[in-house]
A and B are shown apart, each in its own frame.
Chain A
Amino acid sequence: MSVPASSNRPSAALRFALYALMLLLAAMFVFPFLFMITASLRTNDAIFAHAGSIQAFLPTGPLTTANYSYVFGGGNVLHFFLNSVLITALTVGMGLVVNSLAAFSLARLEWRGRETVAALLVILLVIPFEAISVPLMLLVAHLPGIGLVAGKLVLTRSWLNTLYVQILPFVANAFSIYLFFQFFRGIPKDFDEAAYIDGATPLQVYVHVIVPSSKPVFATVSILQGLAMWNQYLWPVITVPGESARPLMVGMQQFFGHTTEWGNVMAYATIITIPVLIAFVVFQRWFVRSVIGSGVKG
């Protein structure tokens, strides 16, 4: 029973096979991206002409930015883009404050009934959004709100076709509270005890003790909630039939339904994807940690 000297590393032949496999898999994951970007830079005719070869994925030959000019010029892409940015940023921003405060209250303060509330929270975790979307729509369709009619703020009888119908229902998030709660519980108790003895209020402890030592969980929650909001489709498609509050995803689906110009469609798709892709490349490490954190703990 002899052990080869290089037992911890695969043999050269195996390594070669593994690299080949890894590259093949990478190609499968990357080609649709490349196709999208390449097609967005070509005319419809050029896309069809190159569709059958590897050139479909490689930006060769005459390229054009006409698709981008068309999408930005003709449609309301910029408007929809702004809507999506606002929706995502406000939901994530308010969500970080509201959910972490609730988790702080549950994990670090002592009050009657907090065990019950924490247990109820875990039950809420298993309710899929899909299962409540229809009654929630009925609810928001009959909530009083504020709307903009002819440049004036007026009271409305429904939340449909607004930006806040896409924001407010998602600020409080049971899963985010749960992630914060798990993290906060792991911070040594002496930290806040010391602050309390020095006369700090709970809010001061939250701001000066808990938040500074919880950066990873804030990043995790931002990424998970931000990605979910940016890519949200089901909810806006049912609550925002009009144009003024429409987010990018619904805008794209509508656009796709009304055109046969694939170049334009791919330009639209690229515009949606690029911001997330940049965020992904920059915060790659955090994306990975957030998924593993949410997956293993969840």
Chain B
Amino acid sequence: MSTGVTSRRNGRVALILGAPALGGLLLFLALPFVMAFALTFTDQRLVSGDHTRFIGWRNYERLLGISYIAQKPVEDPVDSESSSPTFVRVRDVTRADPDYRGYRPFTQVRSGAYRITILARDPDFLHSLINTFEFAFLVVPLQCAVALGSALLVNAGLRAQTFFRAVYFSPVVMSMVVVSIVWTFLFHRDLGSINRLLAFLTFGAAGHIDWIGDRATAMPAIAVMSAWQGAGFQMLIFLAGLQGISQELYDAARIDGATAWQRFRHVTLPGLRQTIAFVLVVTTIAALGLFTQVDVMTQGGPQNATSTVMFHAIQRGVREENIAYGSTVAVVYFALITSLILLQQALQRRWSK
């Protein structure tokens, strides 16, 4: 219980003590956050002689603008049976119609006789968005499985488990730049150990994959590497969760004759439910921010296959100096993460009922 005198004196001192940190957070976190939203409605560039103008929703329209063209094949009476149907070139259609100004083709699908071309004002962003989800979809289950597996291993009551725990955790302290560069060599088409190992295991059948130079394998390769680097962190959190499960539950299950798998299924997993939910969300949020690996290893390539939302934001915002547009990408990225957190909280509320 504090007296009135100390309380009043504390009031003055409290402000002085808290001011440096709170001031720093206001200037370098809260202010840029507010700026991010405000800038999306302007044409702000990094260096510009012109005054910044208010341009309404134009950045969002450019970022999210999607349209489509549905085309019937051109009638070709000569040999319509044998050859594939021909269409008027998309470029000719978009040039002729002012409604399609600024749109570029994103992807094409066939529906019956029709060919539908999806157009976007910024197809690179859509690719980046899809790539980011692809990465999260690959890395989250992989990393969490490795983390849970290694946590179970170092919690099994074997000898030297502190040593192994340290070994599994060690990549976490390694910088992502270093990891990316070392793995660039391991992924090398001709020299890399990964292809050499594959060739050895398959007697030469596999092992000629250009891991980060091929559109199909570039993102999976980055996901494997990222899981390798980050799993140790999640392992420690799982370990804390495992140690929170009462030993009596395991003893009771044993007395009832439960097998190791049954004990895992009916004691360990339910006991880890909160931890698993937490780890999944943290890993997903980290995955959606993918930048360093891409910037060091692939620069978004090959053919946009590894460009991500964050890479796109930095590319447009900083390297092309279009601060307003980069901020718009960042705001969309923030909205993505916020909805994820809200979804997780809603699910958790339902589970705990």
Contacts and interface: CB of A to CB of B under 8 A. Distances in A.
A273 interface: yes
B178 A28 contact: no
Nearest to A94: B20
B26 to A, nearest CB: 9
- Taking residues whose C-beta sits less than 8 angstroms from the other chain, chain B's interface range is 35 or more
B159 to A, nearest CB: 9
Contacts of A117: 18, 22
Given A227-B173, A253-B177, A105 B14 contact: yes
Given A138-B46, A202-B10, A273 B228 contact: no
Interface in B332-346: 333-334, 337-338, 341
A136 B24 CA distance: 13
Nearest to A97: B20
B240 A284 contact: no
Interface in A263-298: 265-266, 269, 272-273, 276-277, 279-281, 284, 287-288, 291-292, 295-296
B23 to A, nearest CB: 7
Contacts of B157: 8-10
A63 interface: no
Interface in B201-257: 228, 232-233, 236-237, 239-240, 254-257
A133 B327 CA distance: 9
A193 interface: yes
B54 to A, nearest CB: 16
28 contacts: A25-B168, A102-B17, A109-B10, A111-B11, A124-B30, A126-B338, A127-B334, A128-B285, A128-B289, A130-B313, A135-B39, A136-B28, A136-B32, A141-B46, A171-B24, A172-B29, A201-B9, A203-B17, A238-B314, A238-B318, A252-B178, A252-B181, A253-B296, A256-B296, A291-B172, A292-B240, A295-B237, A296-B240
A291 B236 contact: yes
Interface string A26-50: 1011111101100100000001100
Contacts, number: 287
Contact of B18 (A101, A168, A284): A101
Interface in A1-34: 1, 3, 7-10, 14-15, 18-19, 21-22, 25-26, 28-33
Contacts of B188: 51
Interface in B1-50: 1-3, 6-7, 9-11, 13-15, 17-18, 20-25, 28-33, 35-36, 39, 44, 46-47
Interface in A113-152: 114, 117, 121, 124, 126-128, 130-139, 141
B171 interface: yes
Contacts of B330: 130-135
A111 B296 contact: no
Interface stretch (A66-74, A75-83, A213-221, A229-237): A229-237
B289 A25 contact: no
A104 interface: yes
Interface of chain B, main secondary structure: helix
A234 B313 CA distance: 12
A51 B228 CA distance: 21
Interface of B: 1-3, 6-7, 9-11, 13-15, 17-18, 20-25, 28-33, 35-36, 39, 44, 46-47, 149-150, 153-154, 156-158, 164-179, 181-183, 185-186, 188, 191-193, 196, 228, 232-233, 236-237, 239-240, 254-257, 260, 278, 282, 285, 289, 291-292, 295-296, 310, 313-314, 317-318, 323, 326-327, 329-331, 333-334, 337-338, 341
Interface residues of A, number: 101
A291 B170 CA distance: 13
A233 B341 CA distance: 25
B13 A203 contact: yes
Contacts of B1: 193
Contact of B173 (A32, A47, A99, A277): A277
Contacts of B25: 121, 124, 172, 174
Contact of B193 (A22, A33, A35, A237): A35
Contacts of B2: 110, 193, 196
